[in-house]
A = this chain, B = another copy of it.
Amino acid sequence: MAYSEKAIPEVAQRRLPRYYRYISELKSKGVSRISSAALSREMNVTASQIRQDFNYFGGFGQQGYGYNVESLYEEIGHILGLDKKDSMIILGAGNLGRALANHAAFARRGFELRAVFDSDPNKIGKRVNKVEVLDIAKLGEYLSDNKIDIAILAVPKGVVPEIYEVLKENGVKGILNFAYMEIESDPNLPIENVHISDSLMMLSYRIKQKGIE
Instruction: Give chain A's interface residues, CB within 8 Å of chain B.
Output: 5, 11, 13-14, 16-18, 20-21, 44, 79-82, 84, 86, 94-96, 98-100, 102-106, 108-109, 111, 149-150, 152, 173-176, 180, 184-185, 187-192, 194-210, 212
Contact = CB atoms under 8 A, between A and B. Distances in A.
A198 B208 CA distance: 27
A82 B200 CA distance: 10
User: Among A100, A204, A210, which residue has the most Cβ atoms of chain B within 10 A?
Assistant: A204
Contacts of A199: 17, 176, 192, 194
A154 B44 CA distance: 24
Given A174-B212, A195-B17, A197-B17, A203 B190 contact: yes
A99 B94 contact: yes
A17 B94 contact: no
